Amino acid sequence: MAELDPSVRERIENLIENNDVVLFMKGTKTMPQCGFSSRVAGILNYMGVDFADVNVLEDESIRQGIKDFSDWPTIPQLYVKGEFIGGCDIVTEMTLSGELDQLFDQKGIAYDKEAADRIREANA
C-alpha cells in the first residue's frame, strides 16, 4: 500500500475532526453516484442526520487517500465523531439492528428515532 501523502492525510483528518458525521461517498447526499453511496446517504437523510458529504469522484487523491487512511478498500465510508464506522453493509446492518441508534445516542448525534424505527419496520 502506498504511503498516504501528508497533505491528503491532513485534509481527511480535518474533515473528520470538523464534522460530527462524515460520509465519504461517490456523488453527493442529494445526488449519489453509486448504489452503495445512495443507500448510506439515504439512511442518514431519512433519519434526519446532519452530515458532511465528501464526493470522492471530484478528487482522486481523496478517493484513494480515504481507503489508505482507514485501511478499508471500498467507498462509501462513514465516520461518526472521528470514529470509522464502516461501509454500506455495516451501516445497513447497524441500522436494522438498532446499533446505529445506540451509536448516535452515545455520541450525541441528533436523529429521528421514529424514522429509524420505520426503516426497521419496513425491513422486518
The answer to whether residue 1 scores a pLDDT higher than 80 is no
Separation between Cα atoms, residue 30 and residue 57, nearest integer Å: 15
Q: Smallest Cα–Cα separation from 115: which of 98, 103, 106?
A: 98
Q: Which residue has the higher pLDDT, 9 or 2?
A: 9
pLDDT tens profile 8-25: 999 999 999 999 999 999
3 backbone φψ class: left, alpha, beta (φ>0; ψ -120 to 50): beta
Separation between Cα atoms, residue 58 and residue 20, nearest integer Å: 22
Chain centroid to CA 123 = 21
Q: What's residue 124's pLDDT?
A: 86
Catalogue all structural domains in the chain, each as residue range(s) with its CATH number: 6-122 (3.40.30.10)
How many CB atoms sit inside 10 A of residue 61's CB?
Answer: 14
Q: Smallest Cα–Cα separation from 76: which of 101, 111, 39?
A: 39
Chain centroid to CA 19 = 11
Residue with cell 491528503: 8
pLDDT tens profile 70-122: 999 999 999 999 999 999 999 999 999 999 999 999 999 999 999 999 999 99
Instruction: Enter the pTM of the model.
Output: 0.95
89 backbone φψ class: left, alpha, beta (φ>0; ψ -120 to 50): alpha
